[in-house]
Amino acid sequence: MTEQREFDLTQESDPDHNPRYRSHQDWTSRHLVQARNVTVYLPKIYDTEPERSFPVLYMHDGQNLFDGRLSYVPGSTWRAGATLDASIAKGLVEPLILVGIANTGSTRMSEYTPDPDPRLGGGGGPLYAKAIVEDLIPWMAEKYRITNSREGTGIAGSSLGGLISLWMGFEYPEIFGKVAALSPSLWWNNRSLLAEAGKLNLKYRPKIWIDMGLEEGALHLHNTDLMARSLKQKGWVPGIDLHYERVWRGTHSETAWASRFGDVLRFLYPSTKTASQTLTPYFR
């Protein structure tokens, strides 16, 4: 019996058959102890338009994005490459580059948390963020044609990856003009990021997608409700630079995040054709 493997939605997005999927092994940063793999997914027109630069979305938990052989749950990925290709082909999203930053397992909790929790530890997020801002983005600029602007630079993740994405958007708004936080772990350290959001006074406001699945529990839904409300009070405008969604039947899983990744791309990186169209946000 042949083992079934799910890499992405199409064979073209299978990493073994797609030259636009580039895996860089053992990338290192002066700010991090452990090396990790960085995967880059290029839009189809990258090679046909050699004078063009492209926006970038940097994504945490990179092993869960494209290749089912590497994902935390074997065979379950975000189907990120195929979703990007389909969204561009339909004219919904501008061509962009996806960059998956693999976690190292043992350091994931520390790197994805902005401050230490008295019970769980962690708090290595600021160094991890520095690694992306000071080492990975310049490294990408040397190897690929990327847009050097905050409007063209985004950060995204789920769970603890959503937590650190929001924190990076607040801490580096001059770098990251777009943030996606799917099912963010706002419970961390007695909801410290919620307290920080209430004190924000940013010169630049990143465009933010935030969501939570209805199946993820009342506490987590309450936390994201509070975060969205706080951002509104600080000047973010739903449908313009903020999208908050309570996801029907949404669970805490790669499958659930994959199902809405196309909408995330459409909100953060709309094509000129769809820029005036808005998704329906959820707000109380």
In the sheet that holds 207-213, the strands lie side by side as 21-27, 36-41, 97-101, 56-59, 153-158, 178-182, 207-213, 242-247
Task: Give me the pLDDT at residue 81, please.
Answer: 96
pLDDT higher than threshold 90 for residue 10: no
Q: How far is CA 77 from CA 53, 71, 72, 121, 168, in A?
A: 27, 6, 9, 28, 24
Q: pLDDT band at 4, cuts 50/70/90?
A: very low
Q: Report helix, strand or coil for 163.
A: helix
Task: Give me the pLDDT at residue 226, please.
Answer: 98
Q: What is the mean pLDDT of residues 17-37?
A: 95
d(C-alpha 279, C-alpha 176), whole Å: 22
pLDDT higher than threshold 80 for residue 20: yes
Q: Are 34 and 96 in contact (CB under 8 A)?
A: no
Task: Give me the pLDDT at residue 282, please.
Answer: 58
d(C-alpha 220, C-alpha 148), whole Å: 35
| All domains in the chain, ordered by first residue | 11-268 (3.40.50.1820)
Give the model confidence (pLDDT) of 87-127 as tens digits: 999 999 999 999 999 999 999 999 999 999 999 999 999 99
> Could you tell me which residues are beta bridge partners of residue 96?
none
What are the φ/ψ torsions at residue 163 (nearest 5 degrees)? -60, -50
Give the model confidence (pLDDT) of 237-263 as tens digits: 999 999 999 999 999 999 999 999 999
User: Residue 53 corresponds to which tokens in the numbers above?
Assistant: 């630069």
pLDDT higher than threshold 50 for residue 2: no
